[in-house]
Amino acid sequence: MASDSKLEVVRGNPSPEELAALMVALVVRAAQHQLGQEVPADPPPATSEWAERTRPGRPGQEARGSAWRLSGWAR
């Protein structure tokens, strides 16, 4: 990193340990970038099981050939 680089805390009151951890993370990331190493991307956000499209329905409720027609019937 350049000697004129500046780090400024704009909110909060971090402890010396927290600032040291941040500096280590920044130095490692900068070194990886300079060496041309690929920096891992953030993991994709987790989806809930309810939103999962491949999640099967209740057991015994599999769709059959006429399920689309029967879905409109009153129960």
**Model confidence pLDDT, tens digit, residues 9-42:** 889 999 999 999 999 998 888 888 888 877 667 7
Sign of the torsion angle spanned by Cα atoms 31, 23, 8, 12: positive
Rg (alpha carbons) of the chain, rounded to whole number: 26
Alpha carbon distance 27, 33 (integer Å): 10
Confidence band of 62 (pLDDT split at 50, 70, 90): low
Does the pLDDT of residue 63 top 80, yes or no?
no
